[in-house]
Every structure is written in structure tokens, then in C-alpha cells.
Amino acid sequence: MTILIAIGVLAFLVFIHELGHFIFAKLSNVYVEKFSIGFGPKVVGFKYGETEYLISAIPLGGYVKMYGENPDDVKNNETSELHGRALTDVNRFKRALIVIGGPLFNYLLAIVIFWGLFASGIPDFKAQVGIVEVDSPAEIAGLKSGDTIVKIDSENIQSWSEVSSYIADNPNKDIEITLADGTVKTVTSIVIDQQNIFNETEPTGYIGIGLLLPPIIGQVVPDYPASKAELMRKDRVISINNESMSDWNDVRDTIRTNPSKELLVKVDRDGTIFDLKLTPMDSKEGDNTVGIAGVSPIEGNTLVSYGFLESLKLGVIKSYDFSKLIFVSLGKLISGTAPADQVGGPIMIVKTTADSADSGIGALLFFIAIISINLAVFNLLPIPVLDGGHLLILAIESITRRKINEKIIGGFQTVGLLLLLSLMAFAFYNDITKLLMN
């Protein structure tokens, strides 16, 4: 069932992408011959109005076939009833809108999903202090373990994420923290240098408080060391190398300080005790090497929801952040600073979608939004045959005010197609290799 859900998700994302092209083509009065989900021979289809709608045999994409894409279609069409309705008959601005419609709809889908998730409620943790570090600004100000934070400066607080984000965004400032009993503590944040998710170093506020989490696994990332060690969601980590794990911070710190070292992990899985071997992989953080295993703690103990407009704003911000992260990752792959085996294809997407479906509807929707953004970014790359390649050609023609020779465009598209097929073959190779290794 989860595999069928995963295939359905891929088909849905392709449908949304092609729907963007289709709608802008219709708005531009371009004749659309076919709207297909998948490539190759037709499996099933029907004609509605002037367009044939298809599901084709190879479910690895889709297409919208518009009249005029092939220059031979429009030769001597002055007397045809389709005269003026070819893709080449509309101006470059409308053609650009048709091209960008696919990625745009993928972005809109991601924003809508994030919008709905933020509005309906995101799992988070209560804003209750678990750890207060010795001699930290928080301890000096009188904060204690167990204190519940309800307000920071003028901002009402619902969750721990809001606490950590506000403090991180306000380094070297006096912060007023209001507790549930009405007590107000003034804490002076200090500045530390920390790497963000984009691997950029930035000054971050710090006061020395932490969340106390049970050592229970919430998510296991496919193809990472924890997955290969057969650790599972809801496993409680009892000890690592015979050292007792009292909270998630112990688990995280032990993994981080032991890159490439085999660890003996004792877990409690529904009352049964297991010993598993885990070897964290290396990860660079500035000049340091730390271990990562691909696990995260259990979901929050409270649902945090936001208003209509605030949820929309957060949806746009989240989509932007993921887009930026994808571009940073692509840059690292191209420069060779990230391993090429991180490139995944449809097989890994199906597998990860299935894993997300097992974790619940919220996790599945979140993953669909991320894949939709990936699809948008990938299609905007300036590679011939992709949407970004078409936009590049239109931009060159607009700047030079001259139409590029069809033979030159054909040559570029052939090179682009070979590049795309090579990338797909490499992605399939990585997918199959990872499956065999697991």
C-alpha cells in the first residue's frame, strides 16, 4: 500500500507540474494536443474538448504537447483553422509564462501544503526549560529547570522552537523572559558562531538553556548509518558503549563525538532489548569533523497552530528556505565538496515517500512539499529540454532581438537530452547500489 501511495505521489506531482504548463497555454489560446502523465505508449486516455488526456506506460514524468512545438507542424498553416494558435504564434512573454507555469505550480503546491500544516498544527515541544547550563546567562538570571516560558519581550510563545529561534536571532541583547507564574527574568544573550543548515557561519544568540528530551528515536533517515544499523522509530536508546543515555542530548553528543567509530547501541523496542552496531558517518562543520547517524528525536508533545495569514507567511518562508538549501546542495555537488552518491532518483523517492507515509499524513505531506520544490528547482536549471533551458533561449532571443537558428537549438537540446539521460542513469545506479547495500 505504501508503495502504491508513493507512486501516486509521483504521478500527482507530475500532474501539478504539467497542469501549470497546460493552464498558461490555454490562457494564451495555444492549442494543446495532449496532456500526458507518464511517457511512452498510451495505457488509458480520453478526449475532452480539443485535448486528449493520457496516462502513459512509463511513470517517470509527463508532458503537455502543444501545437507548434515542432516547427514542421506550422508550415503553411496560414489557411489552417489553427492559424494563430501555435506556440510560436504567441509573443515571448506568453511563451515564458507557459514555460514557467510548471515550476510555479510546484512552488504553489509546496506553499499550500506548508500553509495547511502550519494552520492545522505542527508537532512541537512545550516551552519548558529542561537544562540550564552552569554559569550561563540563563542561570545568572535565575532561570531553572521546569520553568515554562510564555513570552519573550513582546512575543507570545507557544513552543520551544519559538524560544530557540528568538534567542538565536537576537545575539548580544537584553531579553525579557516571562514565565507562566508571571515572573519576568532579564537575560543578556551572548554571541556564538554557529553553522546554519546552509553550512554558513553566522553569529547566534545563546543563553544556555536546553530542552530535555527522552532518548527515543522519532525519525530514521533512509540510507544513513542508523537505517543501516536497523534502528527504528520509537526505539528507546538505553546505552551507547555501555554509557547510560538519560536524554536525547546524551545520544546526540555521543554520536557527534564519535565519527567513523563503531558504537554498541542498546535499545528497548516494545519491551525487547536489542544490541545494535552503529557507525556514525563523517560530516564537516567548519574545521571540525563530527559524526551523524540520520536520526532525530520523537515529535513534540504539543501541537502549535498559527493564524491564516501567519501560516501563509511561514509557508512562503519555508519554501524559500528549502529552495536555498537545494541550490546550496547542488553547488556542493558540482564543486565536488559533497559526495556524488547523494544524488537520488525515482527509486529513492518512492522508498522515502513510503517511509514518510508510514510516519503519518503530516510527514507524508511535508515530504510531498519538499519533493515538489525539488521538482521546481530541477526544472528551472538552464539545461536544454528542461524548462530552464527554454527560458534561457527566450531570454537570449529577447536580448538579441533575433530568433536562434532551429539547428542550433536542436543541437543544444540533443546535448541537454544526453546530459539529462546520463544524470538519470547515474541516479538509478545510486538508487540500485543503495538498495543492494541495504
Dihedrals phi, psi of 223, to nearest 5 degrees = 70, 5
Cα-Cα end-to-end distance for the chain: 21
Q: Provide the pLDDT confidence category of residue 434 given band limits of 50, 70 and 90.
A: low
Q: Which of 31-35, 187-191, 333-337, 427-431 has the lowest mean pLDDT?
A: 427-431
Mean pLDDT for the stretch of residues 83-107: 90
Q: Does residue 261 fall inside a structural domain?
A: yes
C-alpha distances out from residue 57 to 19, 37, 288, Å:
19, 9, 49
Flag whether pLDDT at 417 surpasses 80: no
Domain holding 239, by residue range, is 217-297
Beta-strand ranges (E) seen in 147-300 are 149-152, 155-156, 174-179, 184-188, 190-195, 201-206, 209-210, 217-220, 236-240, 243-244, 263-269, 272-278, 281-285, 288-292, 295-297
Q: What does the pLDDT read at residue 342?
A: 59
- Same domain? For 107 and 161 the reply is no
- CATH number, domain containing residue 189: 2.30.42.10
- Same domain? For 166 and 236 the reply is no
Flag whether pLDDT at 18 surpasses 60: yes
Q: What does the pLDDT read at residue 204?
A: 87
Q: What does the pLDDT read at residue 75?
A: 64
Whole-model pTM: value is 0.74
Q: Does residue 243 fall inside a structural domain?
A: yes
Dihedrals phi, psi of 322, to nearest 5 degrees = -70, -35
Summary mean pLDDT of the chain = 84
Q: Does residue 51 fall inside a structural domain?
A: no
pLDDT tens track for 185-235: 999 998 887 665 555 667 889 999 988 788 999 888 777 899 889 999 889
Provide the number of structural domains found in the chain: 3
Residues in CB range of 418: below 8 A, 6 or more apart: none
Nearest CA among 253, 218, 217, 212 for reference residue 236: 217
18 is catalytic: yes
Q: What does the pLDDT read at residue 2?
A: 64
pLDDT tens track for 303-318: 888 889 999 999 999 9
Catalytic residue among 18, 285, 310, 397: 18
**Of 245, 279, 297, which residue constitutes the final position of a domain?**
297
Flag whether pLDDT at 319 surpasses 70: yes
- Same domain? For 133 and 147 the reply is yes
**Residue 212, all three cell numbers:** 530535555
**Residue 27, all three cell numbers:** 490562457
- Same domain? For 110 and 168 the reply is no
- Same domain? For 229 and 187 the reply is no
